[in-house]
Amino acid sequence: MRKVTSYLATILMANILTIAAYAQNITINGNVRNSNTKEATGAVSVMIKGGETGTFTDDKGNFKISVKSLPVTLLISSVGYELQEVLVSSAGKTVQVEFVPSNALGQEVVVAANRVPQRILESPVSIERISAANIRNSPVSNYYDVVTTLKGVDITTSSLTFKTPTTRGFNSSGNTRFNQLVDGMDNQAPGLNFSVASIIGLSELDVDNIELLSGASSALYGPGGMNGTLLMTSKNPFKYQGLSFLVKEGVMHVGGYRQRDPSLYSNWNIRWGKKLSEKFAFKINAELINAKDWTGNDYRNYSRTGTTGSLIAGDRKTDPNYDGINVYGDETTVDMRAFFSQIAAGLPGAANFITANGLLTNPQNVSRTGYTEKELINPNTVNFKLAGSLHYKINRNTEAILAAYWGTGNTIYTGSDRYSLKDFKMGQYKLEINNKNWSLRGYTTQENAGESYNLTATTRLFNESWKKSVTTDAAGNPTPQPTDWYIQYTYNYLSYRMNGMTEYDAHQAARAIADQGRPAANSDALKAGYDAIRKKPISQNGGLLLDQSDLYAVEGNYSLTEFTKSVADVMIGANYKKYILNSKGTLFADSTGPKGLAQYGAYIQASRQIMNFVNLTLSGRYDKADNFKGRFTPRVTALFKIAKDNNVRVSFQTAYRFPSNQQQFINLQVGSTRLLGSDPTFATYYNYAGNPLYEANSVIAGTPQVYVPGEVKPESVNSFELGYKGLLLGSKLLLDVSGYYGQYKDFLGRINTIQTTTGNAADINNPSKRRNISVPLNTTDKVKTYGFGLSIDYRLPRNFTIGANLSSDILKDVPTNFVAYFNAPKYKTNINFGNTGFGPGKKLGFSVAYRWQQGFYYQGDFANGNLPDVHNLDAQISLKIPKANKSVIKLGATNLLNQYYYNAIGNSQIGGLYYVSFGYNIY
């Protein structure tokens, strides 16, 4: 009996286990398609109502999900569609879901504002969002350009693939006051100290969304976010599956103002994402851009005297001291009076002529003959990006990610000089673990400048290589020789003048003789000689940057809400960064070996709902960097719900920026000036105490005043904002309006000084015995800014949409002689009109975008001057081909009217780009 009982018990347990196992593995198969177009819909979230189990549809709209028992209710959701509930009572048939598109605006979910998901309508600070659909329907040729259409954004374009965005002013090529994060990683090049996101970053097909925080944002994202933070997020292969590719072919340089003959533009993208199981997925993607770049072609004359310099009249024929903005090598200039004095002392006959014609009275400045950017730069731009990641779900709530991002390319960047980033390479590699309550990320950035070089300095050195300007001895003292360029110029100029030639003709003839032997543009001699200089390191009197700096970082966040929800939603986080500067003496003062610099910080944020209509958030962050005292940055935001989908936001935010690695350790000769950092070792090496610096303006004015460099501190900003965002007219109109006021303290800049090379103060007025030195400083006055932003989006019948935004940024209370580099137009606007699906089967689409920017006075280390208004029109029309696996053909143009424009003095002028594209499996 005992054996029978045991046998029956065994059978019963086996059946129970079998039933339990079966209950755990009921599989529901389904398919989701657009109810209007009947197209398969991918990347749709499918969740079990009341549970945590979920999955996504693949690129064919199919999904598979396991449940314990039936019936269950599935929650079907995606941005741009109505939330749907589907009751499933049987697993025998495929569940067919007709997914209904939504016309509601403002339903996008953002994370950047508080580091937690929330509807964009409920963000307590100004935030903009770009989705993959926005990029797909945009007329621009590169997704990075979509950022320029956002409210309040200014962009500085150095070249086709180097673009720098900012908000609320203070923009330039390579902006250190604006953070850019790619999948949570700081995208800045460790040596350059600014982001190169358009060179290395996400490929177009792998962009899930882009979020922009306007203005101060250091409290959550750390130092640097004084004028905004841009967060770019890639697609997760668990959600976005399948093979996709996008091919764009176009033409550039057309029309009467073109810089060269018309040439082709190519942009190829490919992405493959695959979910191998419910646990494991991977993706790989690549992008290749190939084109002939825009080049700088501003040949206006520029005077570099004084603190800032200015545009002046004249050209190479009319001004012997001509210095063209995008002409290089002509920065070398000498006053011929020193040579006239020597001639007068040895030739009494010439002395009378020299004196009678005032050749010793007024400055007789003459510059070397330069080369244009077009004559020096290879216009072929190649940008290649490769990225991939492995994703593993440790459990239902935890996912591990191992990812790599690598890019290389050629581009032009404008800093204190014009730089060619040639074969520039950068890789970012990360290991990340994300849980619903916490995240931990470690990553490294590896930079290699390749054959990047200083275009301006290289050209000046090349001029010296084929003919010396003036020979000097080992101590740097002039020892003129008959073969020197300036000696030949001076003697021949004087000879021609004494023989009756006009001043104009004498200058032309003297230059022609001094330029004998000058390699002609586009000649083999120019290429060979120039390449020899640009491939020689800066530390060896060449133009080559040897920067191989690295960054190592770790950061984590933890939500304590499950423990503190009775009081507030609380989140904490911390991070650590280690920079390894390694330029081998070509950029930093690191000729003896790499330098290490560390930063670390932590933050806490608490948020609480009060009386169901007020959400209050308090944040605080502390950061510490080597060489500087720690800084605390608070943030307070409040969101007031005044009606359904209508909210008023109020915020006080702070941000700061530690002096960049370059501002601390740069040691670089730029033109006739040496840029030095703030590190105390420079004061010792250049003996500031025994051989003082003098303010350059005071020396020029004839009243030299000693300048004693002070302690350089982090700069900071306090920002106040008031805004409203809401849905009106039956949720068809989205209105967003805000105003801000910012106050900057300890603003970081530079001051030009002069130091003697002899150590004798009496030599400060002798140009041949002094050198120009630029050092960092903080301003003592507070700089104030204010402005507003307004945007309206309206959804018209039949899927048409129209939108417009207007913004303004104004600088106030600027101290006398202070160079703010504000670089923002007083007013700018964007207007767009489009339709993502109309006509038979809703297969046709189009979009038109117009941008206007008011002209303003641009200030930069390279050059200053007035910029004219910008009028830019982009447009595209597209055709969907659903039967070809969701393919799209698009015909588009950026700068459709081919109105060449530029947004910084010395940068490239941007013309029209006309393209046709074919995308496979992209919607």
Q: What pLDDT is stored for residue 498 in this prediction? A: 95
Look at residue 427 and tell me if it is in a domain: no
- Minimum mean pLDDT among 325-339, 380-394, 769-783: which range? 769-783
Give pLDDT tens digits for 79-130.
888 889 999 998 888 999 999 988 778 888 888 777 778 889 999 999 999 9
Question: Is cis: bond before 709, omega within 30 of 0?
Answer: no
Span 668-687, pLDDT tens digits = 988 778 999 999 999 999 99
Pairing of the two strands 800-812 and 733-745: unpaired
> How, if at all, do strands 242-252 and 913-920 pair?
antiparallel
Q: Compute the average pLDDT of residues 714-736.
A: 95
Say how many domains are in the chain: 1
- Report the pLDDT value the prediction gives residue 106, as an integer from 0 to 100: 82
Helices (H), 357-502: 373-376, 455-466, 485-498
- In tens, the pLDDT along 575-591 reads 999 999 999 999 999 99
How is residue 137 written in tokens? 């329907």
Query: Which residue's entry shows tokens 């830019």?
Result: 872
* For range 407-418, the mean pLDDT: 92
Query: Which whole number is the average pLDDT over 881-906?
Result: 93
pLDDT at 8 over 50: no
Q: What is the pLDDT of residue 836?
A: 93
Instruction: Specify the pLDDT at position 15.
Output: 42
Q: What is the DSSP string of 342-389?
A: HHHHH-HHHHHHHHHTTTTTS--EEE---EEHHHHS--EEEEEEEEEE
Q: What is the CATH number of the domain that holds 75?
A: 2.60.40.1120
Q: Distance (Å, rounded) from C-alpha 494 to C-alpha 357? A: 11
Structure tokens of 488?
Answer: 């030949």
342 closest CA partner among 494, 469, 472: 494
**Whole-number pLDDT of residue 625:** 96
Of 121, 94, 399, give the one whose Cα is nearest residue 239.
399
- Residue 4: its pLDDT value, please? 42
pLDDT band at 197 (very low <50, low <70, confident <90, very high): low
pLDDT digits over 488-544, tens only? 999 999 999 999 999 999 999 999 999 999 999 999 999 999 999 999 999 999 999
DSSP line for 63-111: EEEEESSS-EEEEEE-TTB--EEEEE--SSSPEEEEEPB---SS--EE-
pLDDT value of position 886: 86
Instruction: Give the other-Cβ count within 10 Å of 247's Cβ.
Output: 14
**Poorest-confidence range of 24-28, 36-40, 171-175?**
24-28
The pLDDT of residue 10: 46
Residue 844 inside a domain? The answer is: no
Res 18: pLDDT: 41
- Report the mean per-residue pLDDT for the chain: 92
**pLDDT of 12:** 38
Question: Can you give the pTM of this predicted structure?
Answer: 0.92
- The arithmetic mean of pLDDT across residues 308-312, rounded, is 87
Listed range (81-85, 397-401, 714-718, 872-876) with the worst mean pLDDT: 81-85
pLDDT at 307: 62
**Is pLDDT of 748 > 50?**
yes
Name residue 15's beta-bridge partners.
none
pLDDT tier, 14 (very low <50, low <70, confident <90, very high otherwise): very low
Q: Give the pLDDT band (50/70/90) at residue 7.
A: very low
- The pLDDT of residue 23 is 43
Residue 24 lies in a domain: yes
| 800: enclosing H helix or E strand | strand 800-812
Find tokens 């104004």 and name the residue.
810
Task: In whole angstroms, give the CA distance from residue 56 to residue 43.
Answer: 5
Is residue 688 domain-resident?
A: no
Q: What is the structure's pLDDT at 17? A: 39
Sign for the pseudo-dihedral over CA of 12, 18, 23, 26: negative
Q: Is the pLDDT of residue 150 over 90?
A: yes
Q: What is the pLDDT of residues 204-249, one digit of tens each?
A: 999 999 999 999 988 888 898 899 999 999 999 999 999 999 999 9
In the block, tokens 């004015």 appear at 701
> What pLDDT was estimated at residue 766?
80
The mean pLDDT of 696-712, rounded to a whole number, is: 91
pLDDT of residue 9: 46
Q: Would residue 28 count as lying in a domain?
A: yes
pLDDT at 548 (0 to 100): 97
More confident residue, 671 or 390: 390
Q: At what angle do helices 503-514 and 485-498 cross, to 10 degrees?
A: 150
- The letter for the amino acid at 479 is T
Of residues 791 and 50, more confidently modeled? 791
Q: Which residue has the higher pLDDT, 17 or 292?
A: 292
By residue range, what is the domain housing residue 59? 2-99
Rounded to the nearest angstrom, the gap between the alpha carbon of residue 441 and the centroid of all alpha carbons in its chain is 23
* pLDDT at residue 807, rounded to an integer: 98
Q: What percent of the chain has pLDDT over 90?
A: 76
Least confident piece of the model among 110-124, 699-713, 828-842 = 110-124
Q: What is the model's pLDDT at position 36?
A: 84
Instruction: For residue 306, name the pLDDT band (cuts at 50, 70, 90).
Output: low
Query: Is 150 a domain residue?
Result: no
pLDDT value at residue 20: 42
